């Protein structure tokens, strides 16, 4: 007895590759030419991944130590390229794999976003996803001329209206508007293209869009929502929810909750896939994998700044001020990220900051072992949770690790019948909904 077939995606950013691990090649100096990413997405397509997803951010964080020194030194939040501009190149280099790019509802004009995503969907012949974020850093807002972001729940209210508007823009052209009647000299039938005259609380747009309806009709919508507002938003729109609950019971609870919310919205819960972030640590033997994990942990114990910089940026709290060998002081406050901070405290549960850095994982569950062992662990988890798959978060970000997943773990999953060996469809959404 094993789980049903599940989905695999890859979660990363358009950022430098590793450059100090000993397995770095030459990509860290050249990643902005895009060639590493072309190779990566081709590798993932060969391994039959459903999609690659690019997160994004719009700032150089200088919270840690009150300076951008630490973040830039490590290449933490920046440099980072625009994933939207990379997507056409990746689309052209591949045939079947989906490509989801992050674009912020707080910073993009909706009409522009609708057109860019529609264009990408055409360029990829129906393989584009928009990863919807509302952004969470005031520093990014300042780059866009605002003093701060709107409060959390208002951001979701805005995002709700934004997605409604963008969807209406995609729908402003019927699928058969392009007639190409050479004899009558009619390229597009104007009766199939309509203004939308959208007037919302936050946005206005007359429409229509000026481009053909995307091949998928509505490009795939992906989202990461942990808060109640985020989950509610995801249940209304998302085809795929990226999730980070900790441990199998929490994973199951999260997925059940999303499915219940989706159903309450009148949608078919099977049409929203919940995928859990993991970073498998693989080895030739079980002991090799354990050794690797121990070595990773020790490296973090010696140099916890990498993790602290990440938290500083996302919670906008300067973690450089605290004693590493004590827990986070009780009186620490944050402006905009109360729930993140509260969750952090609950999770840290009295650990010193150093040990918190070692223990912290951007993953729902720990996966360690040989490819076959990890495949078995994923199998078990999916049997328990019910679906729908995993998002591999690249750690470390280099060709060696991508190869371990694509050529080690994936064949082990395929052998167990847990993962596809070919694509059934041309469009991203169709492949996502195939099982």
Nearest distance in Å: CB 363, other proteins: 24
Instruction: Decide whether 66 or 228 has the Cβ nearer to other proteins.
Output: 66
Nearest distance in Å: CB 136, other proteins: 15
Residue 393 in contact with other proteins, rule: CB under 8 A: no
Instruction: Decide whether 91 or 412 has the Cβ nearer to other proteins.
Output: 91
Per-residue binder mask for other proteins (CB under 8 A), 187-226, x = binder:
xxxx--x---------xxxxxxxxxx--------------
Residue 185 in contact with other proteins, rule: CB under 8 A: yes
Nearest distance in Å: CB 319, other proteins: 17
Strand partners, 104: 133
Segment 44 to 103, residues that bind other proteins, using CB under 8 A = 57-60, 67-69, 71-75, 77-82, 84-89, 91-92
For other proteins, the binding residue among 4, 21, 33, 362 (CB under 8 A) is: 33
Give the C-alpha separation, 127 to 90, whole Å. Answer: 11
Identify the three-state secondary structure at position 21.
coil
Instruction: Decide whether 135 or 364 has the Cβ nearer to other proteins.
Output: 135
Instruction: Report how many residues bind other proteins under the rule CB under 8 A.
Output: 77
Instruction: Show the CA angle centred on residue 326, arms to residues 325 and 327, nearest 5°.
Output: 130
Residue 157 in contact with other proteins, rule: CB under 8 A: no
Which DSSP string corresponds to 180-225?
EETTTTEEE-GGGB----EE-SS-EE----SSPPPTTSS-EEEE--
Segment 118 to 147, residues that bind other proteins, using CB under 8 A = 118-120, 122-125, 139, 142-145
Copy the structure tokens of residue 106: 């707080």
Nearest distance in Å: CB 143, other proteins: 5
Residue 320 in contact with other proteins, rule: CB under 8 A: no
Contact partners, residue 366, CB within 8 Å, separation at least 6: none
Count Cα neighbours of 97 within 13 Å in the Cβ-side half-sphere: 27
Instruction: State the Cα torsion 38-61-329-300 to the nearest 10°.
Output: 40
Instruction: Decide whether 118 or 381 has the Cβ nearer to other proteins.
Output: 118
| 288 class by beta-carbon count within 10 Å (0-12 exposed, 13-18 middle, 19+ buried) | middle
């Amino acid at each position: 007895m094993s789980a049903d077939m599940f989905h695999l995606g890859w979660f990363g950013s358009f950022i430098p590759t590793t450059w100090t691990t000993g397995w770095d090649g030459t990509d860290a100096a050249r990643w902005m030419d895009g060639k590493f990413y072309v190779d990566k997405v081709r590798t993932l397509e060969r391994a039959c991944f459903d999609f690659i997803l690019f997160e994004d951010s719009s700032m150089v964080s200088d919270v840690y130590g009150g300076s951008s020194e630490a973040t830039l030194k490590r290449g933490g939040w920046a440099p980072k390229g625009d994933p939207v501009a990379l997507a056409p190149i990746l689309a052209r280099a591949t045939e079947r794999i989906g490509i989801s790019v992050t674009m912020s509802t707080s910073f993009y004009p909706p009409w522009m976003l609708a057109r860019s995503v529609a264009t990408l969907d055409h360029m990829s012949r129906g393989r584009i996803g928009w990863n919807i974020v509302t952004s969470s850093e005031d520093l990014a807002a300042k780059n866009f001329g605002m003093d701060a972001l709107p409060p959390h729940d208002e951001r979701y209210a805005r995002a709700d209206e934004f997605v409604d508007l963008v969807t209406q823009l995609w729908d402003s052209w019927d699928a058969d508007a392009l007639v190409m009647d050479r004899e009558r000299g009619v390229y597009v039938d104007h009766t199939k293209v309509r203004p939308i005259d959208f007037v919302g609380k936050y946005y206005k747009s007359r429409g229509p869009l000026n481009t053909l309806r995307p091949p998928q009709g509505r490009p795939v919508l992906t989202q990461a929502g942990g808060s109640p507002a985020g989950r509610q938003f995801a249940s209304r729109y998302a085809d795929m929810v990226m999730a980070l609950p900790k441990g199998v019971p929490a994973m199951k609870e999260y997925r059940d909750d999303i499915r219940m919310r989706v159903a309450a919205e009148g949608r078919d819960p099977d049409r929203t896939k919940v995928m859990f972030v993991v970073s498998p640590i693989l080895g030739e033997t079980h002991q090799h994998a354990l050794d690797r994990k121990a070595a990773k942990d020790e490296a973090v114990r010696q140099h916890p700044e990498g993790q602290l910089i990440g938290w500083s940026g996302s919670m906008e709290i300067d973690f450089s001020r605290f004693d590493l060998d004590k827990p986070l002081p009780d009186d620490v406050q944050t402006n905009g990220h109360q729930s993140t901070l509260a969750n952090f405290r609950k999770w840290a549960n009295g650990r010193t900051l150093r040990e918190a850095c070692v223990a912290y994982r951007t993953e729902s569950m720990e996966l360690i072992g040989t490819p076959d062992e990890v495949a078995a662990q994923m199998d078990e988890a999916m049997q328990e949770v019910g679906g729908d798959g995993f998002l591999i978060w690249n750690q470390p970000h280099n060709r060696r690790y991508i190869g371990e997943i694509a050529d080690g773990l994936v064949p082990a999953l395929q052998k167990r019948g847990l993962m596809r060996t070919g694509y059934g469809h041309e469009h991203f959404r169709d492949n996502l909904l195939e099982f």
